Structure 1
Amino acid sequence: MERSADWPRKTVGNNDFTESDAVIIGAGFSGMCIAIKLIEKGIRHFIIIEKSDGFGGTWKDNKYPGACCDILSHLYCYSFEQNPNWSRLYPGQEEILNYQKAVASKYGLYQHVRFSTTANEAHWDNETKKWKVSVKVSGGKEAEFGKAYILTTDFLISGVGQLNEPYSPDLPGSTDFQGKTMHSARWDWSYNFRGKRVAIIGNGATAIQIVPEVAKCASHLTVFQRTPNWLMPRMDQNVSELKKSMLRNVPFLLRRMRADIMDGRESYFQAIIQRHSAESAELTKMCEGYMKTQLADRPDLWSKLTPNYPPGCKRLLLSDDYYQALRLPNVKLETRRIRRLTRDGIHVSVHGRGEAEDYLDVDLIVYATGFRTKEFLYPMKVYGLQNRSTDDIWKSGARALYGVSVESLPNFAMAYGPNTNLGHNSIILMIEAQARFMVTLIEVVIKARQQGQTLSITPKAARIQNWNKKLQKELVTSSFADPRCTSWYKTEDGLITNNWSGTVIEYQKLLSNIDWSDFELEGTAAKRLAGRKIEIGRVVEETSISFRTLAFIILSGLAVASGIVLKYNPRTNFF
């Protein structure tokens, strides 16, 4: 298709329905951020592909009872679109989703998105230096126009993240169970669980939010725990109208509040990441004390709820009401192994009695068992140079240069990719750094196309290998690597494929420039980039001055100003 001179600034229309500068897969926080950064660069000829029927990603999928965020609300939003109107310190799912919808509307993202559309495969065409993306339309009426088609694009971006494909264990007899089953990420709100006998399989971050809510109205609730988790109080509370008014009308206060939250979370790094640190020991002591205080009358649960690994090895959980829910007479913590499901319930092993079993009658089974986190991009298939697939590239574990660029995949980038998850701070801070980095790559490719040239950018395999080797060396001493626990952070072989080894600020600085020597550059525009660097910069949000110093400066300034006013005010007697 012949393009006019202003095509990068025009949205994709009917005539170029299958052609675009960039295709973004996923309309959650990552995909939205990348799209907004493209628009800020004047690039509008892109498409967002989203398998569901709306924006939100994780926060559209996870709408189970009690769903909320583990990061303070004023840090869990974009730096460029801060929200002074959060109703709680820790926002609930619906409030976060409404925030995302409002942002999508404000920045005009609805004109770029194709909902109910799934990307099945993507193939790199080295001759044209373009991606061919096969998509399937699942929406009823939309599918009548065409159930499947192929998109051609200069740049392919994954915004699907790590928490998008639910995982359910393959338990013996699962097909025999005749009651209701649902995964926490596919909650069926048409089902009324009031008065029902409920089993929740899992006791991680999702389960501890669901349990207190289900316990309020289920006739009986059994919580199946495989291994215990460290838990600390959330200390959630409403945000007063006065505080919201101040944050709306004094922008400095909102920025300062966010900066202080970020500082606090960054200082939390040592306790979560460094398993042998004094901070980790102190956190362990605090969590254990909290558990025993909350369950002072239930010492029979203490040993069951106390992990033998340091905080951070598995995700550290936050809750104000989980332990209280376990004290209720209709709730039971079950640590015995599930042997099989039957038509009406669950068989569990009896400790110390060989093959003996107990039987539990159950109406509803909730799988709070997480996601297929280590299979990045699943179930989409991506084929790069020499038709090499991501299955082959990642056969020894997923890895990417800075968590963004993947070996053998030209003009491809991913947000929230391998080794970019956090245990101590807001993932949105990471996503924004990644978006700025990859949009710079996209812009270079598109400018080359504007000038009638071609360009493909592929990270060097040796650079990725060296980068990953250094990264894994840092991670092997971390809490994530502790052999006493299994988690979604690492493979069965112990390779940590999901988590970042440092602080957010360290990662932001890492992505604050592009060194073209990291990449293989091909095409007619390649020569002009060789040996160069591009400075991107970063969004600096952490404080550079303490509150005490700030208060002293403000008070000193007010004192000086008052003195000047008094000295030169003719109505006073002070000269």
Structure 2
Amino acid sequence: MTHQAVIVGAGFGGMGAAIQLKRLGIDDFVVLEREDDLGGTWHVNRYPGLAVDIASVTYSYSFEPNPWWSHWYARGPELKQYAVHVADRYDLRRHMRFGQVVEGATWDEAAQEWEVRVAGAEPVRGRYLITATGFLSQPRMPDIKGVHDFAGTVLHTARWDEAADLDGKRVAVIGTGATAVQLIPELARRAAHLTVFQRTPIWVTPKMDREMPRAVQRLFARVPATQRAARKVNTSVLELVMVAAVLHYRQWNLLNRGAAAIAKRHLARQVADPELRARLTPDYSFGCKRPTFSNDYYPAFTEPHVDLETSSIQRITPTGIVTADGRETEVDVLVLATGFDMWDANFPAISVVGRGGKDLGAWWRATRFQAYQGIAVPGFPNFLSLASPYSYSGLSYFTTIEGQMKHMDRLLSEVARRGASSFEVRDPANEEFLGWVTERLEDSVFSLGQCATARSYYFNQHGEAALLRPSSTINTHREAASFPVDDYEYA
């Protein structure tokens, strides 16, 4: 049996794609998910302190608002509940198959369809293949000698064990990215002693977070236009920070410096010790690495039982961590907040082989990471990759998702209008788009700022910041709804 479409991933990206297929009248599709339930990152991630770092009114589908968020920045379990609500509201669950570990997909030229290989099961075939595996789905283990020798409890933030005993323990955290910023204050409240091993400081600005007043919830529910207005205001602020201060750094470097100044004032207000403050201050430009928001991250380091360790790690022993100066910190629990393997394992997250045996991952790494409009790749017919180079728009992931839904609408509507069975983006269109994003990124902080010490996942093996689309949300959505349909070949 051949389905009209196979979607890989049942997170918000995959659900958005499924909703769009239904809008187009396509109901014969299957969603393959490796986990035991839907929700993507909000199902997998369960570490203490998990929350969105984008205001809830923006971090949600614009067409399915939730007026009942408990806080301005929703906690992780609420996002999981929201994902369940969306799946039920749009009748998506009957399309989903859980516990399906997709090993790869290959284009069958003779049959003009995709064969998707699933571990321990029969292959699944589909006319269209849509990968929605997310940008951060493949956890990274640190490349540190002895990491597998530690005899105590080891926890990775992406595979958290809620039953792990942290109370009264000596805990070490490796990493100080956005996840660690949420986690460290929670660990500080429970551990007898906490040591944070920091390689690169992170820019942290104040988080305007508080409980959502009941009156505001009722107002959003009764007058949806008010929630839409709040969404627009919040999105505009995010656009100002990301698009102007980061992507238009050449023209708006004063705004970038202003954002850095806000972060430094936030640090100065919360940390009085000048030596500690210096170690927590980044030496790279604001935006080179993903910044974040928190009101309790910096204060955690002022607690007497919390140490910040900035010496490099030499090795991990069965009982602790040895730094380059020979000192060993003995710990009971080792927490790895070491992020995700984006450019080596996540782009793409599965093996994808297109026309003529063209391997997507190998091609990206041998040439350049690229995708037309951040969604289609030449040589891969009937294939849409939602987590692709230059696809992330704005700061809220839902901005990206909804832009791609518009692209799907325009593209697949044209396929139906022509009575075609396949589509494939043309090489010239892809090259033109790649040239466009490359030129625009020359104005960004990634090209003009001081990013050498950031160690940012924004940069790939080629030294290119190939994740963010260098345009505004308005421009992204306009192009998604108006790109030249002749940029694709149809057959």
Give yes or no for contact 2:200–2:455 (8 Å, CA) kept in 1: no
Of the two, which has the highest radius of gyration? 1
**1:13-32 equivalence runs, <5 A:** 18-32=1-15
User: Does 2:321 correspond to 1:346?
Assistant: yes
Q: Gaps spanning 5+ residues in structure 1: where?
A: 1-17, 137-146, 351-356, 524-575
**1:184-333 equivalence runs, <5 A:** 184-268=157-241, 269-276=243-250, 277-296=253-272, 298-333=273-308
Give yes or no for contact 1:37–1:435 (8 Å, CA) kept in 2: yes
Letter in 2 for 1:89: W
Query: What percent identity do the matched residue pairs reach?
Result: 34
Once residues 368 and 311 of structure 2 are traced to their aligned partners in structure 1, the CA distance between those partners, rounded to angstroms, is 32
SS at match of 1:512: helix
Corresponding residue to 2:434 among 468, 475, 478: 468
**1:156-555 equivalence runs, <5 A:** 156-268=129-241, 269-276=243-250, 277-296=253-272, 298-350=273-325, 357-374=326-343, 375-395=345-365, 396-422=367-393, 425-445=395-415, 454-481=420-447, 482=449, 483-484=451-452, 485-521=454-490, 523=491
Q: C-alpha displacement at 1:440, in angstroms?
A: 3.8
SS at match of 2:338: coil
Q: TM-score, normalised by structure 2?
A: 0.95
Once residues 443 and 192 of structure 1 are traced to their aligned partners in structure 2, the CA distance between those partners, rounded to angstroms, is 53
Name the residue aligned to 1:528: none
Give yes or no for contact 1:34–1:439 (8 Å, CA) kept in 2: no
SS at match of 1:24: strand
Once residues 108 and 236 of structure 2 are traced to their aligned partners in structure 1, the CA distance between those partners, rounded to angstroms, is 45
Give yes or no for contact 1:155–1:442 (8 Å, CA) kept in 2: no
Number of aligned positions between the proteins: 483
Q: C-alpha displacement at 1:285, in angstroms?
A: 1.3
Q: C-alpha displacement at 1:342, in angstroms?
A: 0.8
Give the ranges of 4+ consecutive aligned residues of structure 1 lying more than 4 Å apart after TM superposition: 443-448
Give yes or no for contact 2:315–2:321 (8 Å, CA) kept in 1: yes
Q: C-alpha displacement at 1:393, in angstroms?
A: 2.0
Once residues 6 and 417 of structure 2 are traced to their aligned partners in structure 1, the CA distance between those partners, rounded to angstroms, is 16
Residues 95-139 of structure 1, C-alpha deviations (whole Å, 9 max, x = no match): 011011011011111110001102111111122211111112xxx
Name the residue aligned to 1:552: none
Once residues 392 and 331 of structure 2 are traced to their aligned partners in structure 1, the CA distance between those partners, rounded to angstroms, is 36
Give yes or no for contact 2:145–2:315 (8 Å, CA) kept in 1: yes
Change (3 A) 1:503 1:447: closer
Letter in 2 for 1:271: A
Q: C-alpha displacement at 1:446, in angstroms?
A: 5.8
Name the residue aligned to 1:107: 90
Q: C-alpha displacement at 1:377, in angstroms?
A: 4.5
Once residues 413 and 391 of structure 2 are traced to their aligned partners in structure 1, the CA distance between those partners, rounded to angstroms, is 23
Corresponding residue to 2:37 among 29, 34, 54: 54
Give yes or no for contact 1:247–1:254 (8 Å, CA) kept in 2: yes
Q: C-alpha displacement at 1:496, in angstroms?
A: 1.5
Once residues 478 and 143 of structure 2 are traced to their aligned partners in structure 1, the CA distance between those partners, rounded to angstroms, is 43
Letter in 1 for 2:396: S
Q: C-alpha displacement at 1:47, in angstroms?
A: 0.5
Q: C-alpha displacement at 1:427, in angstroms?
A: 1.7
Change (3 A) 1:378 1:344: farther
Letter in 1 for 2:208: M
Give yes or no for contact 1:119–1:135 (8 Å, CA) kept in 2: yes
Q: TM-score, normalised by structure 1?
A: 0.81
SS at match of 1:473: helix
Which is bigger in relative contact order (C-alpha 8 A, separation at least 6)? 2
